[in-house]
Amino acid sequence: MLARLQQAITLSLLAAAVVWLWAWWPHSPALAWAGFAAMVLGYSAFLAIEFIALRFISRVDPAPRPGWGALFRAWLGETLVAPRVFCWRQPFRANAIPDGLPSGVVSGQRGVVLIHGFFCNRGFWAPWLQRLRDSGHAFVAVNLEPVFGSIEDYVPVIEAAVRRVSLATGLPPVLVCHSMGGLAARAWLRTMAADDRVHHVITIGTPHRGTWLGRFSTMPNGRQMRLRSDWLRQLGQDEPAHRHALFTCWYSNCDNIVFPASTATLPGADNRLVEGVAHVDLAFRPDVMAASLAIITAV
């Protein structure tokens, strides 16, 4: 569903930009190129607004406050990575790397369940899937649907993926989650009381305590991710004290989606700050990937 939607958005924007360029070129090449650039790169302006907002909203956050130079570099990184994810991998290459499950049980090799975030699909994880396939790990990357449903709706999807990986390896898997995916993992843990069925949970830019941007969402899962939402408050109250020890939480002071930055941490978890990296880019940082893969391989 999401792949088709993002295909339509990408192709429509590209077609509109080309038509504008063709129509205005005879009259004003400068205006033709300006309109073309505005349509193709307009998303970058919205990203810039997010970075400006996080700079002011994070004034009293415990995480180090980024300077304008750090925000500019993070904005540039996100401007470069976003089209690869939202205009190529997810709409056109979501199933390019299928789930990696051996035909028989491979004991001693930890498997992985990868859980994407809001407005994403399994294509988000393409670089991770390649690394996991090369290293011989069993893995399943889920599609969380309905795309704009409640986070609670994703529990059966995660349950099915965990069962598949556990049957293939004979071991509880590691869950690797980006953004909203970490909340979906916590909802699964709560509903299934599944602490002993997972080895570790790695979250990357997950709004564990909500995000300021959530106030602008009208979707059920977006509303659940508002700062101090009733859903998040209840989720935290329902969790046993020891559960957060299962988590490693990557977060950044330049996260343009989840801010203030410390909302991406959990008390009692292994919280790891990466400075100067934006929301999507954080998932593909070599140091984040390497350290996370080290957790997966440490049986």
By DSSP bridging, strand 200-204 and strand 247-251 are parallel
Is residue 140 domain-shared with residue 223, that is, in the same domain?
yes
For residue 143, pLDDT beyond 60: yes
Where residue 241 falls among pLDDT bands split at 50, 70, 90? confident
> Domain residues for 184?
112-297
Q: Are residues 276 and 135 in the same domain?
A: yes
- Closest by CA to 141, choosing from 130, 152, 153, is 130
- Main-chain dihedrals φ then ψ at residue 284, nearest 5 degrees: -120, 10
Are residue 162 and residue 254 in the same domain, yes or no?
yes
Residue 191 has what pLDDT?
98
Give the pLDDT score at 107: 59
* Residue 299: predicted pLDDT: 62
This model's pTM is above 0.95? yes
Q: What is the pLDDT of residue 83?
A: 97
Say if residue 70 is in the same domain as residue 178.
Answer: no
**67 falls within a domain:** yes
Confidence band (pLDDT; 50, 70, 90) for 257? very high
**59, 92, 125 - which closes a domain:** 92
Whether residue 66 is found in the same domain as residue 131: no
232 has pLDDT over 90? yes
Judgement on whether residues 71 and 176 belong to the same structural domain of the protein: no
Residue 241 lies in a domain: yes
Q: What is the CATH number of the domain that holds 274?
A: 3.40.50.1820
Q: What are the CA-CA distances from residue 107 to residues 169, 196, 299 (Å)?
A: 5, 17, 11
**How far apart are the C-alpha atoms of 91 and 181, rounded to whole Å?**
19
The residue type of 59 is R
The 10s digit of each residue's pLDDT in 172-222 is 999 999 999 999 999 999 999 999 999 999 999 999 999 999 999 999 999
Instruction: Looking at the structure, tell me whether residues 80 and 129 fall in a common domain.
Output: no
Q: What is the DSSP string of the chain?
A: -HHHHHHHHHHHHHHHHHHHHHHHTTT-HHHHHHHHHHHHHHHHHHHHHHHHHHHHHTTT-SSPPPPHHHHHHHHHHHHHHHHHIIIIIHHH-TTSS--B--SS--TTS--EEEE--TT--GGGGHHHHHHHHHHT--EEE---SSTTS-GGGGHHHHHHHHHHHHHHHSSPPEEEEETHHHHHHHHHHHHHT-GGG-SEEEEES--TT-BGGGGG--SHHHHHTBTT-HHHHHHHHHS-TTGGGGEEEEE-TT-SSS-SGGGG--TTSEEEE-TT--HHHHTT-HHHHHHHHHHHH--
Count CB neighbours of 290 within 10 A.
Answer: 10
Nearest to 180 by CA among 90, 283, 277: 283
Per-residue model confidence (pLDDT) at position 298: 85
Residue 104, in any domain of the structure? no
Verify that 119 and 252 share a domain, yes or no: yes
Main-chain dihedrals φ then ψ at residue 178, nearest 5 degrees: -110, 135
pLDDT given for residue 106 in this prediction:
59
pLDDT tens profile 5-62: 999 999 999 999 999 999 999 999 999 999 999 999 999 999 999 999 999 999 999 9
Residue pLDDT, tens place only, 87-127: 999 999 999 999 999 766 555 689 999 999 999 999 999 99
Question: Are residue 185 and residue 80 in the same domain, yes or no?
Answer: no
| Average pLDDT of span 254-277 | 98
* Digit-coded pLDDT (tens) for 151-164: 999 999 999 999 99
Domain match, 199 and 256 both:
yes
Return d(Cα 17, Cα 67) in angstroms, integer.
34
Q: State the total domains in the chain.
A: 2
* Same domain, residue pair 163 and 268: yes
The answer to whether residue 246 sits within a structural domain is: yes
